A = this chain, B = another copy of it.
Amino acid sequence: MNEKTNIPHLATAFIEQFQQKEQIFLQAQATIETWFREAWRDTPAPFYASVDLRNAGYKIAPIDTNLFPAGFNNLDPKFEPLCIQAIQMAVEHLPGNIDKILIIPENHTRNLFYLENIASLQSMLEKAGFKTRIGSLMSLEESQKIELESSRSVLLEPVLRDQNRLRLKDFEPELILLNNDLAAGKPEILENIEQTITPPLALGWSSRLKSDHFNYYQQVAQEFATLIGIDPWLIDPLFRNCGEVDFMKREGVDCLTKNVTALLEMIHAKYDEHQLSDKPFVMVKADSGTYGMGIMPIYETAEIIALNRKQRTRMATTKEGQKVTKVIIQEGVYTHETWGSDAIVAEPVLYLLDHQVVGGFYRVHSARSTSENLNAPGMGFKPLAFADCCILPDPSQGLNAHQNQFYMYGVIARLALLAAAREIASVA
């Protein structure tokens, strides 16, 4: 690892394949940016997003696109000016004149880590020049001030509805900024609101499906791969989905078995085509859900049949006790990046505001392997080096330069963002 620049180490076996792609991306930079500009004109970017990437060297792909990103508190404070500028841009792209913003956070009062994120978000919106308050969907009798470890605090205030407008007692926002993924369903108080709500309600996890997102991503990856002349598989995780699966009653297991088998075969074929010796695996995930729950790696179809009670219970519910019914089976992408001398497995998480990459960090997990989900208790966060991050390709510095590696991260994250933009356009 290079301590100085905070860059994980890509396993040596995969560096050459990574740099081949990097070279293609760098040479096509102007073409890529031209293509993105056109794409954003056709389909405006979401207000914000975070994208989890996996970098296997031979393949780099998004595995999750969060439209209600938490973790702004994990970004290097040096990212702040960039975030603030991008927030101004994001608001400028929304209809109407917006001066006052109401953040609707998750219904957490004890998850102080999450509330640090809300404090960071509020602070940035205020520095961007917007009056910003926090309206809680919990049925609060009165405002609740919560002190945080950072010695900041957040003030959760009861949201009121006045005809078709949301407000606080003494605050009438023009914009409702959702930082609540609505996993528990669309709250009635948010339905048919006159003010702009962003991201739109329909993108909450009560209606959104990961498989829809990856359908859009597949199209985007296909178009992009054609543009720069690569196999789309190098940036796109294969996937299949199953409708009703009840892990407890073992219903729908046929569909699961069939699709896991088919997907493992497809991955095998791609590994053979690209002469890769990694062992293919798939990730079985709740098709709607978040927080890294209900996620399971599968290497052999037989494992599905053999799931024990504990494993089935873990798969059967996700955040806030929602039952997993629909399931997505996604190609597992190894992360061959490791952090530090202990070689802890690391995956990059990129943050976007409007269509700008504004920062990111590495999610690391010392107890997990290269094929496992790192979004789990015990994970840690390592900031990406700022000045190098994601928007500063410099071909003259060669393929070992981190800023060129980060440029590729930034492109892939924006492809996932574009898929999300198309998702939003389809429900708007």
Instruction: Find the residue from A78, A85, A356, A389 having the highest chain B CB count within 10 A.
Output: A85
Complex: how many Å from CA A124 to CA B128? 24
Contact B84 A85 (CB under 8 A): no
Contact A392 B127 (CB under 8 A): yes
Contact A85 B356 (CB under 8 A): yes
Contacts of A398 in B (CB 8 A): none
Contacts of A99 in B (CB 8 A): 30, 34, 37
Contact B85 A128 (CB under 8 A): no
Contacts of A394 in B (CB 8 A): 127
Residue A38 at the B interface, CB < 8 A?
Answer: yes
A37-B81 CB under 8 A given contacts A30-B99, A89-B89: no
Complex: how many Å from CA A81 to CA B394? 13
Contacts of A127 in B (CB 8 A): 391-394
Complex: how many Å from CA A30 to CA B98? 12
Q: Mask for A98-141, Cβ within 8 A of B = 1, else 0?
A: 01000000000000000000000000001111110000000000
Contacts of A34 in B (CB 8 A): 99, 129
Complex: how many Å from CA A81 to CA B89? 15
Complex: how many Å from CA A96 to CA B65? 31
Residue A33 at the B interface, CB < 8 A?
Answer: yes
Known: A32-B129, A78-B386, A80-B387. 12 other contacts (CB 8 A): A29-B126, A33-B130, A37-B92, A37-B97, A38-B97, A78-B387, A81-B389, A81-B391, A82-B85, A84-B391, A85-B356, A89-B89
> Using a Cβ–Cβ cut-off of 8 Å, how many residues does chain A contribute to the interface with B?
36
Residue A36 at the B interface, CB < 8 A?
Answer: yes
Residue A77 at the B interface, CB < 8 A?
Answer: yes
Complex: how many Å from CA A41 to CA B93? 12
Complex: how many Å from CA A41 to CA B36? 25
Identify 9 residue pairs between A and B in the complex whose beta-carbon atoms are under 8 Å apart, listed by A's number: A29-B129, A30-B126, A30-B131, A33-B130, A34-B99, A37-B99, A38-B97, A78-B78, A89-B89
Contacts of A126 in B (CB 8 A): 29-30
Number of copies: 2
Contact B387 A77 (CB under 8 A): yes
Closest Cβ of chain B to A246, distance in Å, is 47
Q: Mask for A43-78, Cβ within 8 A of B = 1, else 0?
A: 000000000000000000000000000000000011
Residue A86 at the B interface, CB < 8 A?
Answer: yes
Closest Cβ of chain B to A406, distance in Å, is 11
Contact B37 A392 (CB under 8 A): no
Contacts of A92 in B (CB 8 A): 37
In-complex Cβ contact of A81 among B29, B32, B77, B386 (8 A): B386
Q: For residue A359, which residue of chain B has the nearest CB?
A: B81
A129-B33 CB under 8 A given contacts A38-B97, A78-B387: yes
Complex: how many Å from CA A99 to CA B393? 17
Complex: how many Å from CA A14 to CA B33? 49
Closest Cβ of chain B to A386, distance in Å, is 7
Per the 8 Å Cβ criterion, residues 240-278 of A in contact with B are none
In-complex Cβ contact of A387 among B30, B81, B130, B393 (8 A): B81
Contact A37 B85 (CB under 8 A): no
Closest Cβ of chain B to A104, distance in Å, is 20
Contacts of A82 in B (CB 8 A): 81-82, 85
Complex: how many Å from CA A356 to CA B87? 12
Closest Cβ of chain B to A123, distance in Å, is 8
| Shortest Cβ-Cβ A-B pairs, 4 listed | A33-B129, A34-B99, A30-B131, A78-B387
